[in-house]
A = this chain, B = another copy of it.
Amino acid sequence: MNNDILQSALAEYFAPWVQALGLKVEAGAPESVLLRLPQNEQLSRVGGMVCGQAMMAAADSAMVLALIQHFGEFRPCTTVQQSTSFLKPLSGQDALIEARVTRAGKALAFGEIDIRGAVDGKSVCRTSTTYALL
Give A residues with C-beta under 8 Å from B: 12-18, 20-21, 40-46, 51-54, 56-57, 60-61, 78-89, 102-103, 105, 107-108, 110, 112, 123, 126, 128, 130, 132
Q: How many copies does the complex hold?
A: 4
Residues in B with CB closer than 8 Å to A52 are 60, 78-79, 82
The contact sample of 6 A-B pairs, CB cut-off 8 A, is A12-B46, A14-B45, A14-B51, A15-B51, A15-B54, A80-B85
**Could you say which of B18, B45, B107, B112 contacts A15, with CB atoms under 8 Å apart?**
B45
Q: Are A60 and B54 in contact (CB under 8 A)?
A: no
- Please provide the 6 A-B residue pairs with the shortest distance between their CB atoms, ordered closest to farther: A53-B57, A83-B83, A87-B103, A15-B51, A17-B42, A16-B42
